[in-house]
């Protein structure tokens, strides 16, 4: 419930600053503002969830208003109208993507723990 309350209350600028590097914030901020200023049939919290999902899905790549609208269409197709259902959807998709990555690693002959091991090894050497 804490996540839902946060998404209802936080503004998109704060989400951008928390989830993206500063240079990326400046590059996507205008598109995000344009998206948020459009009339939507969902609450501010769901719009924030759309933004969070967009950032998670693109990773280190930039996105624009068109991409945000595509994610919004996906939410609409999934009949997501509440912040709680948006969070559940994001978590479900995130877990599916994580599972797929683990399967791909396993099929490539790389153990599940290899990524963490390599990260720890780099920390020890650096």
CA distances from 81 to 7, 24, 53, 72, 84 (A): 13, 29, 15, 11, 9
Mean pLDDT of 21-48: 95
Residues 63, 28 contacting (CB under 8 angstroms): yes
pLDDT band (50, 70, 90) for residue 77: very high
Mean pLDDT of 28-32: 96
Looking at the 3D structure of the chain, how many domains does it have? 1
Containing structural domain, residue 46: 2-125
pLDDT band (50, 70, 90) for residue 1: low
pLDDT band (50, 70, 90) for residue 21: very high
pLDDT at position 106 is 65
Mean pLDDT of 33-42: 94
């Amino acid at each position: 419930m804490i996540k839902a309350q946060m998404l209802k209350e936080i503004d998109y600028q704060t989400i951008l600053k928390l989830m993206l590097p500063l240079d990326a914030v400046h590059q996507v901020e205008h598109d995000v503002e344009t998206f948020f200023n459009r009339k939507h049939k969902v609450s501010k919290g769901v719009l924030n969830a759309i933004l969070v999902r967009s950032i998670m899905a693109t990773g280190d790549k930039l996105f624009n208003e068109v991409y945000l609208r595509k994610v919004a269409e996906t939410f609409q197709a999934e009949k997501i109208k509440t912040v709680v259902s948006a969070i559940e959807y994001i978590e479900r998709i995130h877990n599916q993507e994580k599972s797929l990555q683990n399967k791909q690693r396993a099929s490539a002959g790389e153990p599940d723990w290899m990524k963490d091991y390599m990260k720890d090894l780099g920390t020890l050497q650096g």
